[in-house]
Amino acid sequence: MTTPTIELKPSAHPLSDAEREAILANPGFGRHFTDHMVTIRWTEGRGWHDGQLVPYGPLSLDPATNVLHYAQEIFEGLKAYRQPDGSVATFRPDANARRFQASSRRLAMPELPVETFIEACDVLVQQDKAWVPAHGGEESLYLRPFMIATEVGLGVKPANEYLFMVIASPAGAYFPGGVKPVSIWLSEDRVRAVPGGVGDAKTGGNYAASLLAQAEAAAKGCDQVCYLDAVEHKWVEELGGMNLYFVYGDKIVTPTLTGSLLAGITRDSLLSVARDLGYESEEARVSIDQWQTDSANGTLTEVFACGTAAVITPVGTVKCNAGEWHHSGGEPGEVTVKLREALLDIQRGVSEDKHGWMHNI
Ligand code: PLP
Ligand code: COI
C-alpha cells in the first residue's frame, strides 16, 4: 500500500483574524469550519494517491456518484486541544485511525494506513492552528475525517474509487445547556442496529437510522434516545452518538460491546481513568429492568453519557412507556464530575498523560 505525501496548497484567502476570533468566541458545535481541508484519493489498482491540503470548499459530485445512492461512507471524530505551553495535541488519534480501518473493512472500503490518517489530521491542524481555541476552557478543535465512495454508476457493489477527507470545526459544548443533565427516552421498539449489522461501524447510515427515534424523543420532551438490543428489546446499548456509563457507588459499569454498539474511545479511556482515580470499572450487560430497579433502590447512584463531541454528560431523567425516573436530583453526580475533570485535564495537558494518549503536533 502506498502512502501519499500530502501536498500543501494553502488558501490565498483565509478568514481574517477578527472573523476567526468572533467565531471562536462562541463556536457552538459543527457550525463553522476552518480554512483548509485534506483530500486523499484511492483508485483500484493504484491505491492511495494525490494527498493534498487545499482551501476548505464544496465538492463537485456527479449525481450518480455511488455514495449518494448506497451510502458507502464512514467517518471519525476526534479533538485537538490547546496545551498550557500554547502547543496543540490530539487525543488518541491512533485509536480513531484503527477504528476507521475497522469501519472500512465492514463497509468493504480500502483501509487507510494508520500513519496516513494521523498525518492527515496533523497537517490540517498544523495549517489551521490559529483555529484551536485557547487553553483552559472546554473548547477544542473537532476533526472530522471521513471517506466516501466516488465511483460513478448505479451498480450495487464496492466502489473502485474513494475520497478520504479531513475537515475541522472549532467546538464548544455539544449540548446547548453545557454540563446540565440531559433527559433520555428509552426506545423500546425502534432499534439502531442489529446483530451482524453495522452498529459497531461509524457509518452515516447508523445516524440516518437514528433520526426518527431522535425526533420522537424530542416530541416526548427528551434530549436523546437510548437504544436497546434488537433481539430482546431489553439490554441497554447506547445513545445515538454516545456510550453510557452506570455508576454504582465506587464502581462504573458500561454495556458490553456486543457488535451492535460503537466501541467509543471515550468509553474505553474511562475504563482506565476510573481505575486511576481509585474506582472500579467494568463492562457488563445492563437491562432496562435493572436500570429502573437499581435507581429505585438507590444502588445506582449516577448515569452519564460519553463521547468525543459530548465529552461526559450527566443523565438526569429517563423516560419510557412505563413512566419516568430521575438521577442525582437533576444535578451532575459527584463521580461523573470527577471523571469528567480527570479526562479533560489529560486532554488539556494539565495532568500527567500516564497512558501516552496525547499526540503532540
Ligand atoms: N456511540 C456512537 C453511536 C457515536 O457516534 C459516538 C461518537 O463518536 C460514540 C458512541 C462515542 O465514541 P467516541 O468516544 O469514540 O467519540
Ligand atoms: C463524536 O462524538 O465524535 C461523534 O461522532 C458523535 C456525533 C453525534 C457528533
Predicted local confidence at residue 258, as pLDDT: 93
pLDDT tens-digit map of 6-16: 999 998 889 99
Q: Name the CATH topology of 182-348.
A: D-amino Acid Aminotransferase; Chain A, domain 2 (3.20.10)
Q: Which residues pair with 302 in a beta bridge?
A: 247
Ligand 2 site-directed mutation target among 143, 174, 210, most atoms within 8 Å of CB:
174
Mean pLDDT of 110-114: 98
Which pLDDT tens digit goes with each residue over 71-96?
Answer: 999 999 999 999 999 999 999 999 99
Q: What is the mean pLDDT of residues 334-342?
A: 95
Q: Which atom of ligand 2 is nearest to the CA of 202?
A: 5
Beta bridge partners of 183: 317
Question: Cα–Cα distances in Å, from 12 out to 15, 34, 151?
Answer: 10, 14, 31
Say which amino acid occupies 163. L
Would you call 106 helix, strand, or coil by DSSP?
helix
**Ligand 1 pocket, residue 237 CB under 6 Å:** no
Residue 110 grid cell: 480500502
Q: Which of 191, 201, 142 is CA-nearest to residue 24? A: 142
User: What's the mean per-residue pLDDT of the chain?
Assistant: 94
Neighbours of 201 (CB within 10 A): 20
Percent of the chain topping pLDDT 70 = 98
Tell me the CA–centroid distance for residue 311 and ligand 2, in Å: 10
- Residue 40's closest CA among 93, 87, 109? 109
Pairwise pLDDT comparison (136 vs 4), residue with the higher score: 136
Ligand 1 centroid to residue 263 C-alpha, Å: 7
- Ligand 1: which of 74, 211, 243, 340 to mutate, most ligand atoms within 8 Å of CB? 243
Write the DSSP assignment of 328-352 as a string of letters.
GGGS--HHHHHHHHHHHHHHTTSS-
HSE toward the beta carbon, residue 242, CA cutoff 13 A: 23
Give the pLDDT band (50/70/90) at residue 175. low
The three three-digit cell numbers of residue 301, written as one number: 447512584
Q: Is 264 in the pocket of ligand 1 (CB under 6 A)?
A: yes
Average pLDDT over residues 228-251: 95
Q: Which of 27-31, 55-59, 243-247 has the lowest mean pLDDT?
A: 27-31
* Nearest ligand, CA 266: 1
* Residue 138 pLDDT > 90: no
Asked if pLDDT for residue 2 goes beyond 60, the answer is: no
Cβ of 238 less than 6 Å from ligand 1: yes
Ligand 1 neighbour 265 (Cβ under 6 A): yes
CA–CA gap between residue 37 and residue 42 (Å, rounded): 17
Whether 145 is in the pocket of ligand 1, judged by its Cβ within 6 Å, is no
303-319: average pLDDT: 94
Section 199-228 average pLDDT? 94
Q: What is the DSSP string of 238-281?
A: EESS-EEEEEETTEEEEE---SSS---HHHHHHHHHHHHTT-EE
Distance CA 46, CA 29 (A): 37
- Contact 93 CB / ligand 1 (< 6 Å): no
| Mean pLDDT of the region 194-204 | 96
Cα(343) to centroid(ligand 2), Å: 17
Q: Nine-digit cell at 293?
A: 430497579
257-297 pLDDT per residue, tens: 999 999 999 999 999 999 999 999 999 999 999 999 999 99
Residue 323 pLDDT:
87
Identify the pLDDT of residue 73.
98
Task: Please tell me the distance from the alpha carbon of residue 122 to that of residue 124, in angstroms, as a whole number.
Answer: 5
The pick from 74, 96, 242 for probing ligand 1's pocket by mutation, whose C-beta has the most ligand atoms within 8 angstroms, reads 242
Rounded CA gap, 267 and 274, in Å? 11
Structure confidence at residue 4 as a pLDDT band (50, 70, 90): confident
Nearest CA to ligand 1 atom 2: 241
pTM (predicted TM-score): 0.96
- Among all bound ligands, the one having the nearest atom to the CA of 92 is 1
Q: Match domain 7-171 to its CATH number in 3.40.50.150, 3.40.50.360, 3.30.70.1450, 3.30.470.10.
A: 3.30.470.10
Average pLDDT over every residue of 173-196: 85
Radius of gyration, alpha carbons of the chain: 21
Write the residue with the smallest CA distance to atom 8 of ligand 2: 241
* Mean predicted confidence (pLDDT) in 201-213: 95
Q: Which distant-in-sequence residues (6+ apart) come within 8 Å of 294 by Cβ?
A: 246, 248, 300
pLDDT band of residue 177 (cuts 50, 70, 90) is low
List, chain by chain if needed, residues with CB within 6 Å of any ligand 2 atom: 77, 241, 307-309
The ligand 1 atom at the shortest distance from the C-alpha of residue 240 is 3
Q: Is the pLDDT of residue 1 over 60?
A: no
Domain ranges of the chain: 7-171, 182-348
Q: Please tell me what DSSP assigns to residue 15.
A: P
**Phi, psi for residue 323 in degrees, rounded to 5:** 145, -155
Q: What is the mean pLDDT of residues 85-113?
A: 98
